[in-house]
């Protein structure tokens, strides 16, 4: 037995040595990226994950033909640790390229450029005094930072820049490095008057100035700098592939659109103040309380149910499908009637009825022997979308063709897709005929994927 296990371990280690980073990503079918959560890089708005880094990562993962798994961590030093201990494949944030960091990781070509600016608060009653008076009360010369206290994110390029600036002006600048606050949180503290100064990339500072007009961001403290993604030292295969893709992507109109969407969008303030903006509201939707009230019925994480509701209605209680399904949970009239609701029922009643329907489907699969809760969820979601009968057909087809009827991924899901082909929907074991199984396959994937994003931002309770 020892020899057998040793042989397995040797084979695994040999494979890890022989496969380069790009091959590993493609083999596993997954690109794992760590990014930071803020109003530009990665956030949830109206139930949907969004962000400059997130959209670029999604497009790159699509280019590779793999799934994106997004992790979040706003601690830069932890991001480096995650990269070097193989917890992720890429650090995808606005990483300033520096000599010091180049000793630890390798950088891709720049995805954008910016410069660092001083974030300071305008004087009291700034709206009522002249611009000349305002200017006289603000720091415009870097020499005037002597003796000032500047709060920055720990181990950030901002801290490095201020240390260099202190040497350049020949005087001390007090630097307070904050471990558990991200740059946008420090910007907000300046706006509230809780700290005097911080440093930010100009493009991020400009976005935040739309939220807080009291801020001034006109004083540059650096030359333009390159921002890039980071990969493990020596991960040339992945870095070269990213560079090849970025080179082409950056010259596209799609890149310009995405950049302007997050850094030059005049609607940013509306997003920031919205109840649908998760970073500021702490909510996925205005119906969170109802979902939490009734999720006990099916005993699912409420965030998973929220992802299903987004998939069905995008949280619009008045939407009606071409087939006649209506409400937040898009119940068909006969199903809705079974649970005592109709088109005039409240969103709360519609949610409760939908969750009761989920419970009914769930109980069917419990009786059929699918005991694993996580596995059964996929069967329930598929049945909610296409109907229980079609999923039972797919299970029978799977079993007939040597697959496991109690496992969804790479087993039953293959046959829900095949139920759109005559060879399969005409099979004697099929009782419910043709179905557009590709839609159901994507439906399950999208709900679970969005649920993972919700877990990144919203606590379970």
CB 173 within 8 A of CB 162: yes
Kindly name the residue from 12, 188, 312, 320 that is annotated as catalytic.
312
Q: Is 133 a catalytic residue?
A: no
287: CB partners within 8 A, 6+ apart: 306, 309, 315, 328, 347, 348, 351
Cα–Cα distance between 454 and 271 in angstroms, integer? 17
The CA distances from residue 43 to 50, 191, 200, in Å, are 5, 21, 19
* Residue with the two structure tokens 């987004």: 310
Cα–Cα distance between 376 and 47 in angstroms, integer? 24
What angle do helix axes 437-457 and 302-313 make, rounded to 10 degrees? 130
User: Hey, which residues does 326 pair with through a beta bridge?
Assistant: 320, 331
First to last CA, the chain: 45
* Helix and strand totals (H; E) in the chain: 22, 13
Helix (H/G/I), strand (E/B), else coil: 208: helix
CA 191 to chain centre: 27
Cα–Cα distance between 453 and 91 in angstroms, integer? 17
Closest CA to 38 of 179, 187, 161: 187
CB 106 within 8 A of CB 230: yes
DSSP 360-408: HHHHHHHHTT---HHHHHHHHHHHHHH-HHHHHHHHHHHHHTT--TT-I
Taking residue 42's Cβ as centre, other Cβ atoms within 10 Å add up to: 26
Report residue 29: phi and psi, to 5°: 70, 25
CB 33 within 8 A of CB 71: yes
Q: What residues are annotated to the active site?
A: 312
């Amino acid at each position: 037995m020892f020899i057998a296990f040793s042989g397995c371990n040797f084979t695994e280690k040999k494979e890890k040595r022989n496969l380069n980073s790009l091959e590993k990503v493609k083999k596993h079918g997954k690109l794992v990226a760590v990014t930071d959560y803020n109003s530009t890089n990665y956030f949830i708005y109206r139930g949907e994950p969004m962000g400059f880094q997130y959209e670029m990562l999604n497009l790159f993962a699509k280019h590779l033909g793999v799934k994106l798994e997004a992790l979040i961590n706003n601690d830069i030093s932890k991001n480096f640790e995650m990269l070097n201990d193989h917890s992720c494949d890429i650090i995808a944030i606005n990483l300033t390229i520096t000599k010091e960091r180049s000793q630890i990781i390798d950088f891709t070509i720049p995805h954008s450029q910016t410069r660092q600016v001083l974030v300071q608060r305008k004087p009291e009653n700034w709206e009522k005094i002249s611009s000349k008076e305002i200017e006289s009360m603000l720091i415009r010369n870097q020499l005037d930072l002597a003796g000032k206290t500047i709060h920055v994110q720990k181990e950030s390029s901002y801290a490095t820049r201020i240390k260099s600036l202190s040497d350049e002006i020949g005087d001390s600048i007090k630097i307070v490095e904050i471990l558990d606050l991200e740059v946008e949180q420090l910007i907000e503290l300046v706006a509230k008057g809780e700290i005097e100064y911080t440093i930010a990339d100009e493009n991020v500072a400009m976005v935040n100035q739309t939220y807080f007009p009291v801020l001034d961001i006109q004083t540059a403290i650096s030359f333009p700098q390159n921002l890039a993604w980071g990969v493990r030292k020596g991960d040339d295969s992945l870095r070269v592939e990213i560079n090849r893709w970025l080179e082409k992507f950056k010259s596209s109109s799609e890149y310009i659109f995405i950049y302007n969407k997050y850094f030059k969008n005049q609607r940013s303030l509306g997003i920031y103040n919205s109840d649908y903006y998760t970073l500021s509201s702490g909510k996925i939707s205005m119906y969170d309380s109802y979902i939490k009230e009734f999720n006990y019925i099916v005993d699912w994480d409420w965030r998973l149910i929220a992802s299903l509701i987004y998939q069905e209605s995008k949280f619009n209680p008045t939407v009606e499908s071409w087939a006649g399904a209506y409400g937040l949970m898009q119940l068909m009239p006969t199903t809705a009637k079974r649970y005592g609701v109709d088109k005039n029922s409240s969103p709360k009643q519609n949610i409760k009825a939908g969750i009761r329907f989920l419970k009914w489907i769930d109980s069917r699969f419990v009786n059929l022997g699918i005991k694993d809760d996580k596995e059964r969820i996929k069967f329930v979601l598929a049945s909610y979308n296409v109907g229980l009968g079609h999923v039972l057909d797919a299970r029978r087809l799977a079993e007939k063709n040597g697959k496991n009827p109690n496992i969804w991924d790479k087993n039953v899901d293959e046959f829900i897709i095949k139920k759109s082909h005559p060879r399969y929907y005409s099979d004697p074991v099929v009782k419910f005929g043709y179905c557009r199984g590709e839609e159901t396959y994507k439906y399950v994937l999208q709900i679970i994927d969005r649920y993972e994003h919700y877990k990144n931002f919203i606590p379970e309770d």
